[in-house]
């Protein structure tokens, strides 16, 4: 009886270790693909992007605007969104009107940097943890690196 319990416990632990191993290697795979996407995009735009938070959230301001935008402000953003791993446009010529504090993490962090102003035009390069993370959103797969081209009114 003790042998059966030990065997069952051993089998459970072994299964858990295997699951953890697959999970970690999958995460490493996402991180590797994301690093490749980010490097290619930075190279394509000749390193004009700036890491605005020290955590690989990149912003490229193509046209500077005027007037600070606070977290309490409501903004109007016209944007195009691309999931880089699949090179798939998931939002084209969309307009979003929302309080800054209600936006997804990447936009909140970008506005908190005080680099995006009214009438700014630019691009936001977003690692998955600042985008939709492990969620499926519309046609965007989990762990997607995103690129937003935007104009702020």
pLDDT at 8: 55
* pLDDT the model gives residue 19: 36
Phi, psi dihedral angles at 30 (to 5 degrees)? -60, -45
pLDDT at residue 1 tops 60: no
Q: Does the pLDDT at position 121 exceed 90?
A: yes
Query: pTM, whole model, 2 decimals?
Result: 0.81
The secondary element (H helix, E strand) that includes residue 98 is strand 88-99
Tell me, what's the pLDDT at 136?
92
pLDDT in tens, 33-61: 888 999 999 999 998 999 999 999 999 99
At 94 the pLDDT is 85
Q: Tell whether the torsion through CA atoms of 143, 47, 92 and 65 is positive or negative.
A: positive
Model pLDDT for residues 87-117, shown as the tens digit of each residue: 999 999 889 999 999 999 999 999 999 999 9
Helix (H, G, I), strand (E, B), or coil: what is residue 132?
coil
Distance CA 82, CA 11 (A): 44
Q: What is the pLDDT of residue 33?
A: 81
Res 47: pLDDT = 81
Q: Which residue has the higher pLDDT, 18 or 94?
A: 94
- Domain ranges in the chain are 3-152
pLDDT score, position 109: 97
CA dihedral for 30, 33, 39, 42, sign (positive or negative): negative
Rounded distance between C-alpha atoms, residue 140 and residue 128, angstroms: 11
Percent of the chain with pLDDT over 90: 73
DSSP 137: B
Q: What is the rounded average pLDDT for all residues in the chain?
A: 86
CATH class of 3-152: alpha beta
Residues in contact with 19: Cβ distance below 8 Å, sequence separation at least 6, in sequence order: none
Q: Quick one: tokens of 152? A: 């702020």
Confidence of residue 5 (pLDDT cuts 50, 70, 90): low
């Amino acid at each position: 009886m003790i042998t059966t319990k030990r065997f069952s416990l051993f089998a459970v632990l072994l299964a858990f270790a295997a699951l953890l191993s697959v999970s970690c290697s999958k995460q490493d795979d996402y991180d590797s693909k994301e690093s490749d996407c980010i490097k290619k995009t930075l190279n394509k735009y000749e390193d004009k992007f700036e890491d605005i938070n020290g955590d690989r959230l990149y912003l490229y301001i193509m046209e500077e605007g005027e007037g600070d935008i606070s977290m309490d402000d409501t903004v109007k953003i016209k944007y195009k969104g691309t999931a880089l791993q699949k090179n798939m446009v998931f939002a084209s010529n969309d307009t979003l009107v929302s309080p800054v504090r209600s936006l997804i993490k990447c936009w909140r962090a970008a506005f908190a940097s005080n680099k995006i102003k009214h009438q700014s035009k630019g691009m936001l390069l977003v690692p998955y943890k600042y985008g939709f993370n492990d969620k499926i959103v519309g046609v965007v797969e989990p762990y997607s690196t995103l690129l937003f081209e935007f104009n702020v009114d």
